[in-house]
Structure 1
Amino acid sequence: MIYRFRVVLDNDTKDEDVFRDLEIRETDTMEDLHNIITQSFGFDGLEMASFYISDEEWNQGEEISMFDMSEAENKVRVMNATKINDVVHEASTKLIYVYDFLNMWTFYVELAEIVEEAQGSDYPNLMYVHGQVPDAAPQKEFTSDTDEDDYDEFEDGLDLDDYENLDFDENWN
């Protein structure tokens, strides 16, 4: 069977949607999916990347990484040893893909359709391209539910910007 994915760049500016529609065999590896995503968006594919299994609300779940950098007891799945259909299927259709952890290119990957393999077609296949990839990764804005002015990290009334009264011993070394 062939999986058809839509891969959408997480673009907070919403100036233009940027996405790619891809086809890949269900028995290919997550590394194969990684390769076609990077190629279709014009990346060289040399940066670290991970997939994260996602729920319906796009909450980040289990990681599938390029390399196992975990410690002995905390094994993680790796892309080259994980088949796509072991992760994605009718009951679990969404992934988050992060490429280049310094720039945090983030993509929403969703299984759109499962179809029969077409005779004479090569897979993986880039089906459709929409939008131009920006020169730099879209910046993420992180917000909090609490008002920063009401938040006192230390609850003891210390003003960390008042260096004169922090009571450091000048010769503490």
Structure 2
Amino acid sequence: MVYKFRVILDTEEDIFRDIAILEEDSLEDLHNAIVNAFGFDGMEAASFYTCDADWAQQEEEIPLFDTGEIAGEQETMATYKINAILNQENNKIIYVYDFLNMWTFFVELAAIEEPQTGVIYPDLLFAHGELPVDSMLKNFDNAPLSEQDMFGEFDDEMDDEDFDLFDGDDSFEDFGYEDNWN
């Protein structure tokens, strides 16, 4: 069977892609289809998140790479088949690409159909809207975020007294080090 998804970028504007992919393909295959459909270079980390019917509650994270403490213990996108995660009842999932820019997508299973002869899957069925040059940075203050707001003003000229940690005393006793510790 072929699963047809609508992948919606979390922006005020309508930006989405419709993708068809085989049900036995992995979530990593879906990740690659989304990356290609939106024109990303594919060099950033990403994760899928299972969620509730309203996309409001993120649940289990399914990362692109094993990020667990013990190698091989955490399952990744490559180990999950699409039909094991998504079906007619559980038809929504969240996808986040590039954790610095937080490109967030709502992925919804729209249809399950028979494969078409001669079509190579995954297949980009429809594209609507242009991807913004920069991701929509989340601003939790609801105020414009400028570089000065993020980093403040820096004094490029620093005096020696800015680095005077010991007030002229070269003893490290206050820090628990012996004078000749090495």
Q: What range is the shorter-chain TM-score in? A: 0.7 to 0.9
- The DSSP-based 3-state class of the residue aligned with 1:117 is coil
Q: How big is the alpha-carbon RMSD for the aligned residues of Structure 1 and Structure 2? A: 2.1
Q: For residues 120 and 72 of structure 2, what CA distance do their matches in structure 1 show?
A: 37
Distance verdict in 2 for CA 1:38–1:75, change over 3 Å: same
Structure 1 length as normaliser, TM-score?
0.78
Distance apart, 1:73 and its partner CA? 10
How many residues of Structure 1 are paired with residues of Structure 2 in the alignment?
145
Q: For residues 136 and 24 of structure 1, what CA distance do their matches in structure 2 show?
A: 28
Distance verdict in 2 for CA 1:46–1:78, change over 3 Å: same
**5+ unaligned residues in a row in structure 2: which ranges?**
142-166, 176-182
Partner of 1:30: 27
Of the three residues 36, 40, 44, the one matched with 1:43 is 40
- The DSSP-based 3-state class of the residue aligned with 2:30 is helix
- Is 1:17 the counterpart of 2:33? The answer is no
Q: For residues 134 and 69 of structure 1, what CA distance do their matches in structure 2 show?
A: 29
- The DSSP-based 3-state class of the residue aligned with 2:90 is coil
Partner of 1:149: none
Distance apart, 1:36 and its partner CA? 0.6
Of the three residues 16, 39, 49, the one matched with 1:52 is 49
Distance apart, 1:142 and its partner CA? 3.0
Q: Which amino acid aligns with 2:61?
A: E
Partner of 1:77: 75
Q: Which amino acid aligns with 2:74?
A: V
User: Is the contact made by 1:3 and 1:115 (CA closer than 8 Å) also made in structure 2?
Assistant: yes
Distance apart, 1:75 and its partner CA? 4.2
Q: Which amino acid aligns with 1:56?
A: A
- The DSSP-based 3-state class of the residue aligned with 1:122 is coil
Moved over 3 A (4+): 72-76, 170-173
User: Is the contact made by 1:63 and 1:76 (CA closer than 8 Å) also made in structure 2?
Assistant: no
User: Is the contact made by 1:17 and 1:131 (CA closer than 8 Å) also made in structure 2?
Assistant: yes
- The DSSP-based 3-state class of the residue aligned with 1:123 is coil
- The DSSP-based 3-state class of the residue aligned with 1:3 is strand
Q: For residues 80 and 119 of structure 1, what CA distance do their matches in structure 2 show?
A: 26
Q: Deviations over 1:117-163 (max 9, x none)?
A: 111111000000000000001122337xxxxxxxxxxxxxxxxxxxx
Q: For residues 142 and 3 of structure 1, what CA distance do their matches in structure 2 show?
A: 36
Q: Which amino acid aligns with 2:26?
A: T
User: Is the contact made by 1:52 and 1:61 (CA closer than 8 Å) also made in structure 2?
Assistant: yes
Distance verdict in 2 for CA 1:67–1:51, change over 3 Å: same
> Who wins on radius of gyration, i.e. which is larger?
2
Partner of 1:68: 66
**5+ unaligned residues in a row in structure 1: which ranges?**
144-169
Q: For residues 58 and 20 of structure 2, what CA distance do their matches in structure 1 show?
A: 23
Distance apart, 1:67 and its partner CA? 1.1
- The DSSP-based 3-state class of the residue aligned with 2:24 is coil
Structure 2 length as normaliser, TM-score?
0.74
Q: For residues 72 and 131 of structure 2, what CA distance do their matches in structure 1 show?
A: 35
- Is 1:117 the counterpart of 2:115? The answer is yes
Q: Percent identity?
A: 50
